[in-house]
Amino acid sequence: MIPLWWYLVVAALLFCIGLYGVMARRNAVAILMAVELMLNAVNINLIAFWRYTDPADTTGMAWAIFVLAVAAAEAAVGLALIISIYRSRDSVVAEELDTLKY
């Protein structure tokens, strides 16, 4: 039998690996991939709590599916932005995109 905290720790690890990617990668596409990893970690938590507390109530699954839908929307818009930025600035390095700073 797997205790609940195993899932929580694995999800926390996955989340922090994604967080590291978001904070440390140069390439904007890589940052988006790391964000997807973080969303996955959250979903593991949701499903684990659903299964370990009350499986007859499917609210946890419904939340996970909403996260899935929002992740799909986020990926589509994010990648469109990256392609558009690449066309106009010839770069997808997140540190070079600083027009809004000035």
| Positions in 26-85 near other proteins (CB under 8 A) | 26-27, 29-30, 32-34, 36-37, 40, 43-44, 47-48, 50-56, 58-59, 61-62, 64-66, 68-77, 79-84
Q: Is 101 helix (H, G, I), strand (E, B) or coil?
A: helix
CB of 39 to other proteins, least distance (A): 9
What lies within 8 Å, CB to CB, of 74 at 6+ separation is 35, 39
Minimum CB distance to other proteins smaller for 23 or for 100: 23
DSSP string spanning 34-86? HHHHHHHHHHHHHHHHHHHH-TT-THHHHHHHHHHHHHHHHHHHHHHHHHHHH
Q: Is 99 a residue that touches other proteins (CB under 8 A)? A: no
CB of 22 to other proteins, least distance (A): 8
Residue (of 28, 22, 21) closest to 92 by Cα position = 28
Minimum CB distance to other proteins smaller for 78 or for 102: 78
CB of 102 to other proteins, least distance (A): 19
